[in-house]
Amino acid sequence: MFALLLMAAVTTNVSAADYYLVMESQEWAILDANKFTANTEADGEYMLAGVELTTTDQFKVVGVDGETTTWYPDGMGNNYGENGEIVADGTYDIYFRPNADGGDDWFYNVIYVAEALPPVVDTYFDLTADFSSDFGDVKFYVGDEEVTKAKVGDEVSIVITPNEDYAVSSVTANYYTSWDGGEAPAFNPRSLNLVGEITLTGEGNTRTFTMASEYNVLVKVEFEYAPTYVLTITGLAANRYKTYCYGDNLKLAAESGAKLYTITALNGTTLTLTELTVVPAEMPFLILGDGEDINFKAATAQEAEAVTITPLEAFKGTLEETSFEAADMEAADYYVLNNNNFVWVMGAGSLGPNKCYLEFVKDNGASPAPALDIVIGEGTTHIDASLIDSVNDNVIYDLSGRRVANPTTGLYIMNGKKVILK
């Protein structure tokens, strides 16, 4: 029966649609798993990779074109492996040329068997960063993928993200070997066997290099304290106030011991201050000094938008020098900070840039209070009597700060002091 199946002869310029490996161990069955595919590296050639063969195996190739089957090689006694062609058990790649033009080193010019090469497995090497997480973070990328290992030829990017107030001061990289060909019992980047410096390109917070050696990589990143200040206030004594108005969002630098406030209410002659951590652009505010330079950083738009404190409507600020004419003084009462209190301004003048003032529309000709107290929480700053004396002498005010022309008996303020009239 087998002899009858092998009667067809090999023809030239065959273009059969499908070719299969058929094996004695599989009872010469035509199986889809044994189907050849065209070898893209050689015209007129087919291949079947990764075939497990033993020294006792025998096989042929069969071509199937419609109802026609053609065996390669044809005839009896010419199975591949029948005469010891398979010298060792193993994995093989089988090549087939239906036009019988394979050459003298091919079995019947149609079959060639080669021991399969082991698959190429890339060797990856560790990428390690030595840095302090207190100051920033370091990550490695190959393309857009974050990685902890790379192979020779990879283009590796080192992406450094400094924490707030810090900047990259230096980046170095070296190849290193493992301990006796294995891993160190406890990784210590400072005691590795460095075997060569790596040239880095780039600047700022990104460096790149190409893996050129079969070694692990150690990258050392140093940071420096480098805060960016947008405003510095000097010369403000401890526990003294200064008003300020700025055109951009601000926040105190972390190391500052100063405090920030804005005026949120007026009760009689008492101004209530509410503490701020972020000052939105153009909001009038007060600084309470600590005797040191006061450094400000830029606040983000999100930080500014999160501020829910609203200053007293009468509390205003200047971004440039502002003049107050006689007509202004007739329409409103103005107060400016003098030492630690707001005092009434008697005449026209000007106020420099980045300062704040209080503006109250005159109320039926009532006389203004000479000064206004500042309250923070439960504490009150005291009115400096000399400031009140310099504004109006021998003028009597009630405890709400209103000028009294014809006082009766009771408690009043005169020349900066509380007095009892009987």
CB count within 10 Å of CB 35 equals 14
Domains of the chain, earliest start first: 2-115 (2.60.40), 124-225 (no CATH), 231-384 (no CATH)
CB count within 10 Å of CB 211 equals 21
Predicted TM-score of the model (pTM): 0.52
Residue 385 three-state SS: helix
Q: Which of 114, 15, 136 is nearest to 64 (CA)?
A: 15
User: What is the pLDDT, as a whole number, of residue 30?
Assistant: 95
What single-letter DSSP state applies at residue 107? B
Q: What are phi and psi of 132, to 5 degrees?
A: -100, 120
Pairing of strands 59-65, 18-23: antiparallel
Q: Supply 329's token pair.
A: 């003084």
CA 47/CA 53 separation, integer angstroms: 15
Average pLDDT, integer, range 237-261: 94
pLDDT band, residue 185 (cuts 50/70/90): very low
Residue 25 three-state SS: helix
Strands (E), 183-280: 193-197, 206-210, 216-225, 231-233, 241-244, 250-252, 259-267, 270-276, 278-279
Is 69 exposed, middle or buried (CB count within 10 Å of its CB: 0-12, 13-18, 19+)?
middle
Average pLDDT, integer, range 64-83: 91
pLDDT per position as a tens digit, 322-350: 999 999 998 999 999 988 889 999 888 89
Residue that is written with structure tokens 């002091």 in the block? 417
